Amino acid sequence: MDEPAVEPISYTRRLADLAAEHPDEIAVVLARIDGDEDVITWEELDKRSNQIARRFLSQGLGLGDRVAIGLRNSIELLLVSLATWKVGATPVPLRWDLPEWERTRVLEVIDPKVHVDGDSLEWLQATEQLDDSPVPDAVAPQTHGICSSGSTGSPKVVLIERPGTWDASIGQPFPTEWMDIPRPQVVMTPGPMYHTNGFHTLYNLIAGDRLVVLEKFDAARIVDLVERHKVTTITATSTMLQRIADLPGVDDRDWSSISWVLQGAAVIAPSLVHRWIELIGADRFFMSYGMTEGLGLTALRADEWLAHPGTTGRGYRETQIRILGPDGQVLPPGEIGDIYLKSPSTGLYRYLGGGERQPATADGFSTGGDLGHLDEEGFLYIADRRVDMIVTGGANVYPAEVESALIDHPDIADIVVVGLLDDEWGRRVHAIIEPADKANPPPVDDVVAYAKTKLASYKVPKTVEFVDAIPRSEATKVSRAALIAERGG
């Protein structure tokens, strides 16, 4: 059912309306690392963000300025983001745990008027003494920025060129094209809010949904919170979903409150799709493919995936898809090329620091550098990122395909595949494996033999390495470039 039309209003007005309508209802639950929970009501959320906004105004923060927010998931992070919007400025969350040299580089790119980090907690608490009445209404010209190291490792900040106004389309439940979703939702934020998926739950909050935010990802804690707070939706990466699904006894837990779960960010292993179908049903599990720049989005429900295994779906909400060859020609179904997308949001971004925009065609299709193909029905299949592709002995190997094949090995907990320099092959396929039992990793010959049952011979890892843990960020991302550099290039 379509939402009634609502004229765009500022985030300031929207939050004030929610506070007036539901003053004593809980807006946010924060699940702290120590096991306790902090809660804040709609009225408290509005008043506290007004107080912080007044502090910002006293610092000269205003329309179009940027606030760098180096806080881990917390009530303070939410309040600072809302306060930033209220003065017409743009929040840019960044990793709170960056080493000093890297934080300095990122801040140079963001060029913030104000930087809020762990050292700011004292003055943030002191704002409780300030006037909590509304500040003058303002609309941020850009909604937010997201930091990324990109493919090169150099700082990249994507600034979203949309005004900070709310209407009924903002914070819409993802599956509304398939089914009606009861509102308000109870939305879980399992990963860090400096990542796109995490920060976007703030738009669910603006839409009137309750958030259940984890200070730090914890698979077992997530299941407990789903049961206790009747969580209705989770958006998570494949790695997060794998760790939840691997929990002992997870099949016997109460998943009845869940309306939908969305997987995004990276290709998902077929076995994991089937696992989540077992947990919650094919009609409640969704998959998507897109990028921070908002070039477009593909999506599908698990029952569609069963008919098209391995796909990331078709164009979602007016997204069009093209597969282009090296000369810009449109490739037919089945042929791998560069994925180009076009949607109403295409082009509504820019890079801070003068970075070049993503390649685009004359008629408005853009690419994020991923490779894939379409089938005859228009379903998209991702091969990998072009920069991650391994050319070994003249043949192309996509790390994501090798990872997807090997993650089903019962003795492998996590895996990353990279291409390392090799005198004979140019680059060899190298598997970095986190074993399920750290003390008893599987024999290398067993891993190779398993790979041969699922992959063409030239895709099978030529070398295998075991590590205690894959070095993933809180958002479960991994830097292949860093892993390659550590191993000699």
Order of strands, edge to edge, in the sheet holding 298-301? 37-41, 26-31, 210-214, 186-189, 233-236, 260-263, 285-289, 298-301, 314-315
Top-level class of domain 9-317 = alpha beta
Q: How far apart are CA 242 and CA 236, in angstroms?
A: 10
Position 1 scores a pLDDT of 43
Backbone angles phi, psi at 360, to 5 degrees: -145, 155
Mean pLDDT (the chain, rounded):
91
φ/ψ of residue 309, rounded to 5: -55, 135
CB-side exposure of 247: number of CA atoms within 13 Å?
20
- CATH hierarchy code of domain 389-486: 3.30.300.30
Q: Output the pLDDT for position 458.
A: 84
The predicted model scores a pTM of 0.84
* Chain length of the chain: 489
Task: Report the chain (489 residues): mean pLDDT per 10 consecutive residues.
Answer: 69 96 98 97 98 97 96 98 98 92 91 96 97 96 84 73 90 92 96 92 96 97 98 93 94 97 82 95 95 89 96 94 94 95 86 80 90 95 81 80 89 92 85 94 94 89 94 82 86
Within the chain, all domains assigned CATH 3.30.300.30 are found at 389-486
**What pLDDT, on a 0 to 100 scale, did the predictor assign at position 198?**
93
- Strands 210-214, 26-31: parallel, antiparallel or unpaired by DSSP? parallel
What was the pLDDT predicted at 151? Answer: 40
Indicate where the chain has its CATH 3.40.50.12780 domain(s): 9-317
What pLDDT shows up at residue 238? 86
Spatial contact of 395 and 389, defined as CB atoms under 8 Å apart: no
